[in-house]
Structures are given as C-alpha cells and as structure tokens.
C-alpha cells in the first residue's frame, strides 16, 4: 500500500479490463458489504467473502460515480506494477461478475 506509481494511460490496459469495469451501478449499490469483507447480494441470496484488497476495490466501485482514474488511483495507492494490477483486476472483476450473474 501507499506506493506511488506513475500514471498509466488507460489505453495501455487490456480493453477487457475497461469492459469488465462497466458494471451497472445499481447492481453494485444493491450489495450489502460489511467492514470485514462479508458481501450479501439481496437479489440472488448469494453471500461471499472478500479479502482486504477486494473489499477496498469493491467499496471504491460502489462510490457514485466511479472515478475515471479508478485504475490509476489503485496504482497510486498500492505497491503493484501495472501488469500485476491488470491481471489481479481481471481476475477479481471476472469473479465478481460471475457472483453477480451479470
């Protein structure tokens, strides 16, 4: 945490990442997220756990509207290379979409 990476042009990331980030805000807002990472989806009845990082990302995504520099904010705040961030986000968002059924 708290490592400052230089900003990266959005176009440098896998276009799939931008696509996966386009989750309906209403869908994200419906999630009940507790401080310890327990997530309940009242539309499907599914519940699941997020680790600390996942919880932070989910909470950032729930903020309305999601900041345009969302990815660069993560790069700024986490000690992670752009490639690793891209890989981890793709995995996280894929899993989140699967849970949400979208």
Task: Write out the residues near other proteins by the rule CB under 8 A.
Answer: 32, 40, 42-47, 101
| Closest approach of other proteins to the CB of residue 27, in Å | 11
Pick the closest to residue 48 from 88, 86, 98, 102 (CA basis). 98
Choice between 37 and 82, CB closer to other proteins: 37
| Closest approach of other proteins to the CB of residue 47, in Å | 8
Choice between 12 and 102, CB closer to other proteins: 102
Q: Which residues contact 22 (CB under 8 A, 6 or more apart)?
A: none
Choice between 83 and 97, CB closer to other proteins: 97
| Closest approach of other proteins to the CB of residue 41, in Å | 8
Question: What per-residue string of b and e applies to 70-89 under the rule 16 or more CB within 10 Å gives b?
Answer: bbbebbeebebebeebbebb
């Amino acid at each position: 945490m708290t490592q400052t990476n230089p900003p990266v042009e959005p176009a440098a990331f896998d276009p799939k990442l931008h696509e996966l980030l386009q989750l309906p805000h209403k869908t994200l807002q419906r999630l009940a997220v507790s401080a310890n990472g327990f997530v309940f989806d009242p539309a499907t009845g599914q519940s699941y756990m997020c680790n600390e990082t996942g919880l932070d990302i989910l909470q950032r995504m729930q903020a309305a509207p999601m900041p345009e520099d969302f990815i660069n904010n993560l790069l700024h705040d986490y000690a992670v290379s752009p490639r690793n961030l891209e890989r981890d986000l793709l995995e996280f968002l894929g899993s989140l979409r699967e849970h949400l059924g979208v």
